[in-house]
Amino acid sequence: MNTSSEKYSLVCGMEVHAELKTKSKMFCGCKNDPFGAPKPNIYTCPTCLGMPGGLPVANKTAIEWTIKLGLALGCKINLFSKFDRKNYFYPDLPKAYQISQYDIPFCYEGVVETSEGPIRITRIHLEEDTGKLQHKTVDGKKVSLVDYNRSSVPLIEIVTEPDIKSPTQAKEYGRKLRQIMRYLDISDCDMDQGGMRLEANISIAPAGSTKLPDYKVEVKNINSFKFVEQAITFEMERHEALLEKGTTPIQETRGWNPNKGETFSQRTKEDAEDYRYFPDPDLPPIRFTQDQIETLRSDIPELPEAKTSRWIKEYKIEERYAKMLSENRTAAEWIESIFKQADTPNDSAKAIVNKKISFEVGEKPSAIIKKIADISTTDNVDTKKLVLAIQATMKENQDAVQKFKAGDKKVIGFFIGQVMRAIGKKIDAQLLRETLVAELSK
């Protein structure tokens, strides 16, 4: 779907940052729990505070999880890799450089399929998060506070090619990425807290053009999929208005204001930033053997898409139910245990999707199957039989029928009781009431 005019098409790539949920931080032993910390600056040490003499040691789990994500997205893996220093000065970065990866990321050349086409993954690299700045007013004075609990938390960055063709595709891509990371159990992707942050690089080109536009606008730090969709739509319209006037949009970094529903300029990039990247001399390069990579690959759980197709084949589940029920890995595994025991798994799928039964994830499959069987009995009372039972009850209770005709609606309750007893089965109350009133009103 193109929300802008037909004259231009969107050219958009995304960069997504997500914090990994390892026990400890990326380069030291401090606890990795920035959102759960009871106080600021308690999960810190000389290394993550950038003190002289603090030496980094890379977190093995974080590296393995990055590679797992790469494999799940069909990436190639660099068997030789390294960490580099990205130099810039800002108070949330105590060392004045961020340890990141420059020319040899762990993963490259993957793909994420969406309903609007594939999105190529350029690279996935691993780096460290910064501290968190808070701008507050304390004792009437405006101050900036910094919390280093988040400093050096493992952070993966997933970069795409400019393959995104619509705002809805950007949203779908982000959702898919989050779902896969949650399936792999490597990140909570908590967007409200900033545990997953989206950035879109946006430009528009005349429809049909194969040349990349000569400008791009970055919208940074977007914390919801809906906002990324809205921000891209907003930018497309803004760029179109400028281009129609004969001006090229300025190459700049913008932010998203969710209250106003618009983007705003943060800084213009007249010169390319010079981060003076160089290999971190405190960290040795990392080597993997193909065998080690294969071991990591064998550890990847079945992903949502594979699960959906297997359910369709194995249990004859309708596609829309299979898609909905495989959303969350824990719930999906539980639901499959129900499919395994059910005679007609698709009926179970339908009952769960339509919330026809009350249940809790983790409940005994046999209990769920019984509940589903109970509703099917309810559903199976056929209307013909019901009408006959109602007519028989009416015949026996002519005085009550007369009362109803005279406007006494209270007798409906009496009839419901009588008919239910006559049928001797549980019956859908709505169906019974409607049929009853129809018969009485004849």
Nearer to Zn ion, 47 or 81 (CB): 47
Phi, then psi, of 108 in degrees rounded to 5? -150, 160
Contacting Zn ion (CB under 5 A), which of 10, 20, 28, 196? 28
Nearer to Zn ion, 8 or 43 (CB): 43
The verdict on 30 binding Zn ion (CB under 5 A) reads yes
The partner in contact with residue 11, picked from Zn ion, Mn ion, none with C-beta cut-offs of 5 to 8 angstroms by kind, is none
The partner in contact with residue 157, picked from Zn ion, Mn ion, none with C-beta cut-offs of 5 to 8 angstroms by kind, is Mn ion
The partner in contact with residue 48, picked from Zn ion, Mn ion, none with C-beta cut-offs of 5 to 8 angstroms by kind, is Zn ion
Nearer to Mn ion, 19 or 157 (CB): 157
The verdict on 153 binding Zn ion (CB under 5 A) reads no
Nearer to Zn ion, 28 or 75 (CB): 28
The verdict on 48 binding Zn ion (CB under 5 A) reads yes
Nearer to Mn ion, 157 or 280 (CB): 157
The partner in contact with residue 30, picked from Zn ion, Mn ion, none with C-beta cut-offs of 5 to 8 angstroms by kind, is Zn ion
The verdict on 124 binding Zn ion (CB under 5 A) reads no
- Given the rule CB under 5 A, which of 29-37, 311-319, 331-339, 340-348 is the region that contacts Zn ion? 29-37
The number of beta carbons lying within 10 Å of the beta carbon of residue 366 is 12
Nearer to Zn ion, 149 or 179 (CB): 149
Nearer to Zn ion, 99 or 232 (CB): 99
Binding residues for Zn ion, rule CB under 5 A, total 5
The verdict on 129 binding Mn ion (CB under 5 A) reads no
The partner in contact with residue 45, picked from Mn ion, Zn ion, none with C-beta cut-offs of 5 to 8 angstroms by kind, is Zn ion
Site for Mn ion in 154-193 (CB under 5 A): 157
Name the minimum Å distance from CB 27 to Mn ion.
Answer: 15
Contacting Zn ion (CB under 5 A), which of 9, 40, 45, 333? 45
Name the minimum Å distance from CB 30 to Zn ion.
Answer: 3
Interface residues toward Zn ion, by CB under 5 A: 28, 30, 45, 47-48
Q: Which residues bind Mn ion (CB under 5 A)?
A: 157
